[in-house]
Homo-oligomer: A and B are copies of this chain.
Amino acid sequence: SVNPDLASERQTASFSVEKLTALLDGGTEQTRIRRAVVEVIESDPVFSRENQYFQTQNERYEAAVRKAVHLQKKMHEMGWTENGPEFKYIYRALSGDVAFLLHRVFMRSISVLGSDKQISKWIPLATQHKLIGSYAQTELGHGTYLQGLETTAVFDTATQEFILNTPKISAMKWWPGDMGRSATHTVVFAQLYIHGKCYGIHPFIVQIRSLQDHSLCPGITAGDIGPKMNFEHIDNGYLLLKNVRIPRENMLSKFCEVQPDGTYVRQGSQKINYFTMTTVRISLISDEVLTPLMKACTIAIRYSVVRRQSKLKPGEQEAKILDYQTQQEKLLPQLAAAYAFHFINDYLQELFNRGYTEIQRKNFDMLPELHALSSGFKAVITQHCTAGVEICLRACGGHGYSLLSGLPSLYTKILASCIYEGENTILLLQTARFLIKCFMAASAGQPVPPSVTYLAAVKHGRCPAKNKLDFLSPDIYTEAYQHVAVRLTSSTAAKLQDLIQSGVKKHDAWNQCTVQLVQAAKAHCHYIAVKNFAETVEKLETKAGIQKIMKHLCDLFALHGIFSNTGAFLHDGYTSAAQMDMVTASYLDLLAVIRKDAVPLVDAFDFTDKSLNSALGSYDGQVYQRLYEWAQKSPTNQMSPAYERYLKPLLHNTLSKL
């Protein structure tokens, strides 16, 4: 039975939840396939996540391996393939709680970086799980700066082998997933040396464990790097190599080859490789970043209509906490952001598909723009969504702090997305570099890529809004965002030039502008996200109330961004103080409007109770019952030896010497 406080929220939905779900999925057929996959996965007890909040890191690892192995059987049984329409829903239905994810990266890197001969040798072995692969790039002392990697691969002409070494402790491979305990093979990135000359970083296939008994191969030291904030199920590992010899054929050689006599031959373009990196950044947004935020919103919003605390009106019963303006102001902007980023993700996917087509035609023109967008949006979305999940957690008070709410693990996991696949600050500076370059080009009248043409059109006007309703016009706020993005880019470009002209060396000048460059990059992405949301809403079907509610969310997303960052809009007087008060008024009005549809808006994400794995967020809203029942199963309710050992002697005054 559904908690009546939650049930009543669903009766007044202004739109069709089912239609919105289909919109998010990309069509009713996609919804159907997704639900079918979820049904199969969730009805299989091997895939259950019910006990995960009680498990140790060792237990989580073992469960993840069990699930990965079971998944192979399941896919075979169901006729699912890696290229089938179900595949993208499988990982999501498992909430990522499965081993051998790096095995897939191992395979992809061979496919992309290997010669045809290497592909035909290794891919079948990997596909049939005759080996378990990993991907060893990051070192203890080196992450962001690939050229700095210290692992070496020296070519020995005599034996036709490479000799691999991690010469210092900082050169040790550190972090690779699946490597601490599972992998038998890995792709090692190392500095290639031939006849004493360094040719830079290259990838090598190295066997690290015996296929017979899993013992470490000669020269290999490897293990698990220990406890982390999350990812307990993954055996992130370390790897030391001491004079490990591998045959010449194990250097992945699609782009570079070492011939038997030591001649180094570079062939083909490595640009596609560069493109792979950007694709990974985009591909993680959906499952690793948006899904957690959507889950957090679902949990926090459902809880906020069930939880009653204090009185809004004297004499009445305690109020649902979502009726407090401060609670709305915490949660509803996160909900709007989840939708905004869902749509920008669609936009980026589409752009990347076009980019990929062009690249296959050997046209690499789109690459710089794609790199800038993928870097910037990876950083902005992971940062925004991580903060959003934390806000949801805190907004649930003490119960949010219990692991059983599901929120702590969502937070500790999404947090990592700010760091992996490119640290966010580094990525934003990549975007900024592109912006500065394009701004200079545009100023000089040269053509620039589509997403930055707006930089050329520097307008010195003022915001034309006359009352608070004007700020519900996408043209008004989109232009304000554009203005800020142009101002921040142009002013930082000016500062950079001033510094250089005043004699500061180029790299120092750049460093002295980086705080502001990061701001410019964020403003650029924020502008594009707002613009894209507004354009998406414009194109939506008007029936079933979908367009209307999406328009509200778009307005909220845009106005929340202005309200939270008023200085950027006030700075040069583009927006006046009086206009900022209008923004505030419209923004606060919108909270009350969207609050009415808050539950239907999270219901549309269509998470099952099992996928939320939360005592606060279940569809029926029976929060207290669930917390109580679940807590009773905790291992902390088993008998503790602490009583006999310490408490009893203390209470009975039999502790020696006391």
A residues near B (Cβ < 8 Å) are 53-54, 56-58, 61-62, 65-66, 68-69, 72-73, 76-77, 128-132, 138, 140-145, 148, 169-170, 172, 174-175, 180-182, 184, 211, 214, 223-229, 235, 238, 307-314, 318, 323-327, 329-330, 390, 393-394, 397-398, 400-404, 408, 412, 415-416, 418-420, 423, 425, 429, 505, 507-508, 511-516, 518, 565-573, 577, 580, 584, 588, 624-625, 627-628, 630-638, 640-643, 645-651, 653, 655, 657-658
Contact = CB atoms under 8 A, between A and B. Distances in A.
A631 B588 contact: no
A581 to B, nearest CB: 9
Contacts of A429: 326
B628 A58 contact: no
A326 B515 contact: yes
A336 to B, nearest CB: 15
B72 A229 contact: no
A227 B518 contact: no
A457 B184 CA distance: 74
Contact of A394 (B138, B419, B655): B419
Nearest to A411: B229
A408 B229 contact: yes
A229 B224 CA distance: 23
A123 to B, nearest CB: 17
A573 to B, nearest CB: 7
Contacts of A66: 642, 645-646
A143 B397 contact: yes
Contacts of A515: 325-326, 329, 588
B577 A57 contact: no
A222 to B, nearest CB: 10
A310 B144 contact: yes
A401 B228 contact: yes
A402 B226 contact: yes
A124 to B, nearest CB: 13
Given A144-B310, A326-B425, A625 B169 contact: yes
A518 B214 contact: no
Given A142-B309, A397-B419, A403 B227 contact: yes
A642 B229 contact: no
A602 to B, nearest CB: 21
A635 B326 contact: no
In the complex, which of the residues A227, A228, A397 has the most CB atoms of chain B within 10 Å of its own CB atom?
A: A227
B214 A647 contact: yes
Given A227-B54, A624-B141, A630-B226, A418 B394 contact: yes
Given A58-B635, A329-B515, A653-B128, A143 B226 contact: no
Contact of A511 (B324, B393, B518, B640): B324
B226 A312 contact: no
A273 B408 CA distance: 34
B403 A226 contact: yes
Contacts of A571: 566, 570, 577, 580
Contact of A636 (B61, B567, B570): B61
Give chain A's interface secondary structure class.
helix
Given A132-B651, A419-B394, A62 B642 contact: yes
In the complex, which of the residues A172, A515, A635 has the most CB atoms of chain B within 10 Å of its own CB atom?
A: A515
Nearest to A633: B226
A141 to B, nearest CB: 6
B653 A130 contact: yes
A314 B646 contact: no
A375 to B, nearest CB: 15
A309 to B, nearest CB: 5
A589 to B, nearest CB: 10
A402 B172 CA distance: 16
B227 A53 contact: yes
B631 A225 contact: yes
Contacts of A311: 145
A341 to B, nearest CB: 20
In the complex, which of the residues A225, A624, A632 has the most CB atoms of chain B within 10 Å of its own CB atom?
A: A225
Contacts of A634: 57, 224-227
Nearest to A426: B310
A72 B310 CA distance: 41
A658 to B, nearest CB: 6
In the complex, which of the residues A325, A398, A634 has the most CB atoms of chain B within 10 Å of its own CB atom?
A: A398
Given A571-B570, A634-B224, A129 B211 contact: no
B403 A415 contact: no
B401 A309 contact: no
In the complex, which of the residues A77, A309, A313, A653 has the most CB atoms of chain B within 10 Å of its own CB atom?
A: A309
Nearest to A505: B313
Contact of A637 (B54, B223, B425): B223
A568 B564 CA distance: 10
B181 A507 contact: no
Contacts of A57: 634-636
Given A573-B577, A588-B512, A631 B184 contact: no
B401 A229 contact: yes
B651 A211 contact: yes
25 contacts: A57-B636, A62-B642, A66-B645, A73-B658, A77-B657, A132-B650, A140-B627, A169-B625, A184-B651, A224-B637, A226-B403, A226-B404, A226-B636, A238-B631, A314-B507, A329-B515, A390-B390, A393-B415, A398-B419, A398-B420, A400-B419, A401-B415, A566-B571, A570-B571, A573-B577
A658 B329 CA distance: 52
A645 B318 CA distance: 54
A369 B507 CA distance: 52
B514 A324 contact: yes
A69 B646 contact: yes
B181 A636 contact: yes
